[in-house]
Chains A and B, each alone.
Chain A
Amino acid sequence: MRAARADDLGRLLPDSLGTTTIAMLTAWFALWSWRGLVQHPQHFLGPALAAGVLLVVAGSVARALRVPAALVPLVELVVVGLFVNHHYAAAASWHGLAPTRGSLASLVDTAVAGAQAINKYTSPVPARYDESYLFLLCCSLGIMLAVDLLACGLRRVPLAGLPILLALTIPISILDSGLTWPVFVITALLYLLLLSTEQSRRVLAWGRSVAGSGRRWDSLDQQANSSAIRSAALRIGLLATAGALVLPILVPVTDGVFGQPGGSGVGNGSGDSVVIANPIVDLRRDLVQKKHVPLVYAQTSDPDTSYLRLAVLDDYTGNDWRPSPRHLPTRNRVDGAMPQPPGLLRSIPGSTASWSLRLAPSFDTRWLPTPYPVRSVQVGGDWRYDARTLDIVDTDPGSSVADTTYRLIAFHPRLDAVRLDDALSAPGNVQDPMTSVPSNLPPVIARTALRVTRKAQSPYARAVALQDWFRHGGGFTYSTARRPGSGMSELAAFITNDKVGFCEQFAAAMAVMGRTLGIPSRVAVGFLHPQPTGTRGNWVYTTDDLHAWPEMYFSGYGWVVFDPTPAVRTGAPPAYTRQQLPAHPPTPALRPPTPKTQKAVKQEKVSQPATHAGSSTGSALWLPVGAGVLLLLLLACSPRLVRDSRRRGWLRPGQDAPGLAAGAWAELHATAVDLGLPWPAQRTARETGRALARHLDGADRTALEALVGFVERARYARPFGLDGAEEQSVIAHAEATVSGLAAAASPARRRVAAVWPPSVFRRHQQSPAPAPENRAEVGV
């Protein structure tokens, strides 16, 4: 017994060891795609490899010893568990090896903390949260065990692709960074090798082993072994992998139906794009607490120091406004000149001012406060900007931002209400994502927006109308006592009944309403006004100055600041929103802007229902598509139409007897062709009728015989006149015969005849009517 076991071990171990090793390596290389999750990936990849080696040894020895298949995963789990316990909780373990209650509890606690750290912090998680390595190690071991169980235990290698796929796709969804090509290639080739190893095992076991000596046949030169299969597998695998590397370049990939800017970076490294904490959370807390903590010190001669922006919340989820995932490749590092703000024409005049700023030590921010728009920024550290929002993010998670000093040149475009009023609609890449609202948005929000802006004629006028409604038309009250929140139902309550809130609600509500009106809108978070400190030109922004305001997009000017928060908090709204709008036709004189006159002007305007800006572009798109579909339908129906018109021509009343006979006969022939019935060629009417009569019975057969009689008479008898009653009966007979033939055919054939009658495409189907002179001779 023991000898047999040892024999088994010697025979089965190489095979088992090979497969298990390949499976483990495949899983391990797939885990390399998780590198971007933490700062030092070797801290979990290294232990994972060590545990994988243990797993391979335990698994292959257990299988070679023919341990029951259900027990092998348990053995592996115990071995790997002991390893993890030793590696992470040796102190609490008995002799550093055997797990105790305490060591297990500490392991679980650490793993849970690691999971939380990974959830909480942006990837890569900083090295100081080393509990995340244990969590990733546990996930890695789970993947490895699953691959081992499926590929080696159950021998279902194709299914083992699923955990590998899971491992490869997790970073796609979390990291938003591309799968690097070496990881992809190595994983793919190893997986294919695993697949072919399993297949070659099956193939070699298929043939009967002659004389039990391992010989597959008695050929002189060599034995069948897996090397031939493996070399073919390698060739096919390399070809397929190369194709998988090259072909997707040609595949047009959308930005995703969910409006998420996808990881469009192909192989450009990891950590480009991050999800960043929502600054509005801090805003609520700080506004309510009123702690007067200084956050930013600024030194500038700029006359306009308001609206120092931290971040842009451009994604309304229905629960809150939040920053969409930022795309932050290395080339977007903040180093001097900034790109032209989106939508702002270079020709727009304005003034520039240089700033010098310093972040207070207590300000733990990952967003850099800047005015908007800004011409250039000079800052140390790994700050990067997002090209769409131009807000600046710290991408170095380990660094401290305290006391960061930076210089910038702000640009204040000279905005003009008249020009803004004439602004064209936004381009599609701004219009579509920036006007999207959740489909289940309470309709009262859109209704209220329409009602408030019904007198405004342009998007800009509507935006101003909204702002004014919030500030003094709608009866809103500013209070930080309100419970924070900008969910859909809270906003609906806020604009209908509640009407008490602080800047978060005002900004969120105006931005959502603007979006329902088709104006691209978003919320910006930052500081409202600084307090002057000390000498002239020195300012400080404190927690009290935190503010949120909507930004709306107008072509040519880009994102324009509005402020719906009442004056008790913000003072006067931006100057351009106070300018009088030209009436239609525009009045040349710009009167001093007062709320009263503005109201008066607005009342003069002709009432016009707001139209959704997207509708015009939509209809423009649908027109050619609809026309194309219609054309296709027409094309598809045309044989049917031709056939119908021919039938009407053949069986029309008012023909002479030979004409009607020829027509009826042609109709009969066409019907037979349509239905696929045999139509004997070059036969007399009577013989043809006899052939057709086999498909008919009862009244239809009688009708056919009557029709044949009429045709014979018309062809061969002396010419005769046709009275109305006979004409009707001939047509009725022809129709009865045709319908009888159709009823005799198979349903499929009938459908073909109805939609695509083949007779239309046949030539010479109309039996030529006998020439009149022949008939005359016969008559004589």
Chain B
Amino acid sequence: MREALRSLTLRGRAFLAGGTTAVFCGIVMGEHDLVRIGVLVLLLPLVTAGWVAHAGNRLGLVRTLSARQVETGQSAQVQLELTNLGPTTGVLMVEEQLPYSLGSRPRFVVDTMASGWRRRIDYVVRSDVRGAYAIGPMRLRVSDPFGLIELQRSFQQTSQLVVTPRVEPLPWISLRRSWSGSGDNRPRSFATGSAADVTVREYHLGDDLRRVHWRSTARTGELMVRREEQPWQSRCTLFVDNRVRAHRGRGISSSLEAAVVATASIAVHLAAQGYQVRLISATGEQLGHGWHDGGQAVDAHHLLEQLAVLPAVDAGALVTDWVDDAVTSGMFVGVLGAFDDHDRAFFSRIHSPGGTPYALVLDVAGWPAPRASGPPTPGSEAASRTGWLRAHGWKATALAARTPLASAWQELGR
């Protein structure tokens, strides 16, 4: 009741004040009818407050998302299930809090619910901007039939929706790798002499008898064989330069977004081929890392999730402490922007006799600048950078603003 009285609207307060004034004037001037009208006007907000306090507004909420992760531009369905935990409610106004990128806030008018009733509400969210978004908390507005009181209630619970960058299908290209003897880059099992032969497993039909591990068989009483299928991991380091200085433009039309799309596409492409992709950003953090978990391939979802929240960092130099033998001797794919002389020293270090680093160099000048000093000038800079990289043993291709990613990737494999 007190809460309801505190949340009187301007109209409610005006009714209170007007009613009091009328009653007072009626008493002073001796007009019974004025007193009666005043009492009516005065009673209305009070009775309404009592009604609002009496009516229930205790609701339970279960929010279900059709997918926790959606690609940019795709929509996800959100389902709200409201359960009335208290007494019969009045007409409730329900508003879901959403970030602006997910569109306008969905509002619903929920009719009277008796105790224990449920209502299901569906709505669809969709975003053109990658990122991790909180859906909710839901806000409840309790109104009364006369607009005299407005009570606000808020739920605590929120749900997370990750909007991942767009992934473009890439053509298969031949990627040279240090340990690949043939053109087939499928991961192979190692033969003998590895640490893996100390592990055994049960005998499966079709296993070679020569692989039976007799000592374990004697101990367990069942045929045990050595595990020799432990595959070689095809490891790949995927580097994305997400420094502000390396890119141009803002928001979804910036070159950084193109870089993220390219990185995501490459990551998904490589992961589909069985590579363990290690994702590294300009600040050196390992965004996705599955080299030591022994799985077949890193879950591409995990990589995409990381890429969804990849920020543009305002760092000067690249952090290079992640560079080790595995990187220099393994496969390396870099999605680069406009790099300068300082970065060239680092990039020249990546190359080692063992492997060939690949680079997709964004033609940053081709993206429109936010405070445009002039029209985009695609061309020469990116060409000089790719030329430099090639001169240092890289395989590099420029990715212009309008070039399809697939064709640039194809170019890289050539």
Contact = CB atoms under 8 A, between A and B. Distances in A.
A204 B44 CA distance: 22
B27 A202 contact: no
Interface stretch (A230-238, A443-451, A576-584, A754-762): A230-238
B39 A248 contact: yes
Contact of A225 (B26, B35, B111): B111
Contacts of A203: 91, 93, 109, 143
A216 B109 contact: yes
A228 B111 contact: yes
A233 B119 CA distance: 23
Given A217-B121, A243-B43, A244-B40, A208 B145 contact: no
Interface stretch (A192-200, A513-521, A729-737): A192-200
B31 interface: yes
Given A202-B147, A243-B47, A251 B39 contact: yes
A179 B11 CA distance: 26
Given A218-B120, A248-B35, A236 B47 contact: yes
Contacts of A198: 147
Interface in B1-18: 11, 14-15
B370 interface: no
Interface string A332-365: 0000000000000000000000000000000000
Interface string B27-53: 111111111110111011001100100
A24 to B, nearest CB: 20
B37 A165 contact: yes
Contact of A228 (B27, B40, B91): B91
B122 interface: yes
B107 interface: yes
Contacts of B128: none
Nearest to A241: B40
B112 interface: yes
A247 B39 contact: yes
B123 A210 contact: yes
Q: Which of A200, A204, A217, A233 has the most C-beta atoms of chain B within 10 angstroms of its own C-beta? A: A217
A131 to B, nearest CB: 28
Given A204-B109, A235-B51, A243-B43, A253 B27 contact: yes
Contacts of A200: 91, 145
Contacts of B15: 158
Contacts, number: 166
A401 to B, nearest CB: 32
B113 to A, nearest CB: 10
Contact of A236 (B23, B44, B91, B112): B44
Contacts of B100: none
A264 B48 CA distance: 31
B110 A217 contact: yes
Nearest to A169: B34
B23 A251 contact: yes
A75 interface: no
A199 B143 contact: yes
A219 interface: yes
B368 interface: no
A229 B145 contact: yes
A5 to B, nearest CB: 28
Nearest to A218: B122
The number of chain A residues touching the other chain, given as a range, is: 35 or more
Given A188-B40, A196-B145, A216-B108, A178 B33 contact: yes
Interface string B118-153: 011111000000000000000000011111000000
Nearest to A210: B123
B106 interface: yes
Interface in A91-105: none
A241 to B, nearest CB: 6
Given A188-B40, A217-B110, A218-B122, A263 B143 contact: no
Given A196-B146, A233-B146, A224 B30 contact: no
Contact of B90 (A232, A237, A254): A232
A239 B146 CA distance: 14
A207 B43 contact: no
Contact of B120 (A165, A217, A236): A217
Q: Which of B44, B51, B109, B120 has the most C-beta atoms of chain A within 10 angstroms of its own C-beta? A: B109
Nearest to A267: B32
B200 to A, nearest CB: 56
B33 A192 contact: no
B186 to A, nearest CB: 49
Contacts of A253: 26-27, 30-32, 35
Given A192-B146, A236-B51, A257-B28, A228 B110 contact: no
Q: Which of B35, B39, B104 has the most C-beta atoms of chain A within 10 angstroms of its own C-beta? A: B39
A256 B29 contact: yes
Contact of B111 (A224, A235, A251): A224
Contacts of B106: 208
Interface in A367-402: none
Contact of B108 (A207, A235, A239): A207
B47 A195 contact: no
Contacts of A168: 33, 37
Given A206-B109, A232-B90, A254-B27, A247 B33 contact: no
A254 B28 contact: yes
A585 interface: no
Interface string A606-620: 000000000000000
B15 to A, nearest CB: 7
Interface in A253-273: 253-258, 260, 262-264, 266
A597 interface: no
Contact of B30 (A184, A245, A256): A256
B39 A219 contact: no
A233 B112 CA distance: 13
B30 A255 contact: yes
Interface in B142-199: 143-147
Nearest to B40: A244
A236 B53 CA distance: 13
Nearest to A207: B109
B22 to A, nearest CB: 8
B43 A240 contact: yes
A252 interface: yes
Contact of B145 (A169, A179, A233, A244): A233
B151 to A, nearest CB: 13
A685 interface: no
A17 B274 CA distance: 70
Given A218-B120, A224-B91, A206 B107 contact: yes
Given A179-B33, A208-B107, A244 B39 contact: yes
A228 B88 CA distance: 12
Contacts of B39: 243-244, 247-248, 251
A508 B94 CA distance: 74
B108 A208 contact: yes
A172 B93 CA distance: 42
A213 interface: no
Contacts of B90: 228-229, 232
Contacts of B93: 203, 206-207
B109 A263 contact: no
B341 to A, nearest CB: 55
Nearest to B33: A179
Interface in A148-196: 158, 161, 165, 168-169, 172, 178-179, 184, 188, 192, 195-196
A429 interface: no
Given A195-B147, A207-B108, A263-B31, A217 B119 contact: yes
Contact of A251 (B35, B41, B110): B35
Given A199-B147, A210-B122, A256-B29, 5 more contacts: A216-B108, A216-B109, A217-B119, A229-B145, A262-B29
15 contacts: A158-B11, A172-B33, A179-B37, A195-B147, A199-B143, A204-B109, A206-B93, A207-B107, A208-B104, A217-B108, A233-B146, A243-B43, A248-B35, A248-B36, A254-B27
The 5 closest A-B pairs by CB, nearest first: A262-B30, A256-B30, A233-B145, A244-B40, A207-B109
